[in-house]
Amino acid sequence: MPEYIKTKGIVLRNIPYGDNNLISHIYTESHGRLSFFIYGGQKKKKKNIFLPLNKLELVFALDNKHELQKVKEAAWLENYKFHYDVKKSPVVFLVSELLSNTIDFEIKDEKLFSFLEKSLDFFDRTNKTAVFFSQFLVFFAYFSGILPEKDNSGIYFDFDSVAYELNKPIGNFYLDKKQTEFLSALLNTMSYNEDFYLPVSIRHDLIDKFLKYFKLKFGIRNLKSYELFKRMY
């Protein structure tokens, strides 16, 4: 008899397979990112369960001999409202695409998983969607290990040196004083805050730079969903 594993999982992306099935990439708490074959996954009931960024409870038997795992049971842990909110859709697409392109297979990271859980719960509650995404990028960079702890000796964060600098860095790949204050405030509290706000132009510039940083660190391409996000926010 196979040994079944019960774990939480966050859906990253889905690939249609045949007429009715799906291959679903899910970031699991127990085993990191895994690929699952979902029989009948394109039918409405299952399709709704496996929507990108859904948080699930899964039961499966890990098969190390095959790339695709088979789900025995799957159920919502949260029925997130953001799936039915047109204003939040661009962020759902963008976060899903970013996670899909940066989270490696079979690397377990309980702190990263916990952060993603809390982020999705907050995103579902908040009405400040644009504020959420700028904060999410900071925290995701930190929990991905590409952003250092706050260094109070610097007033600019330089992406090239990955350090806080006292003097304005050469070039243009750094956060200005206001953006660095925003970064520092988040890392000092380590929690989402709807009152931490940046003007639109400054926020867009921060997001542009963080997405460029993710591209350099993870070797990913431009995120297709980012253009839709920029048009709306």
Tens digit of each residue's pLDDT (9 = 90 or more) over 173-197:
999 999 999 999 999 999 999 998 8
Q: Which domains does the chain have, with CATH numbers?
A: 4-79 (2.40.50.140), 85-232 (1.20.1440.120)
| Residue 36 reports pLDDT greater than 80 | yes
| Residue 152 reports pLDDT greater than 80 | no
**With 0-12 CB in 10 A as exposed, 13-18 as middle and 19+ as buried, what is 25?**
buried
Rounded to the nearest 10 degrees, what angle do helices 89-102 and 110-125 cross at?
170
Q: What is the pTM of this model?
A: 0.94
Contact indicator for 31, 7 with CB cutoff of 8 Å: yes
pLDDT in the model for residue 197 = 85
- Which tokens belong to 123? 């995103």
Mean pLDDT of 145-157: 87
CA dist., res. 87 & res. 171, Å (int)? 35
Longest Cα pair distance anywhere in the chain, in angstroms? Answer: 63
Burial profile 66-81: b = 16 or more Cβ within 10 angstroms, e = fewer: eeebebeebeeeeebe
Mean pLDDT of 56-61: 96
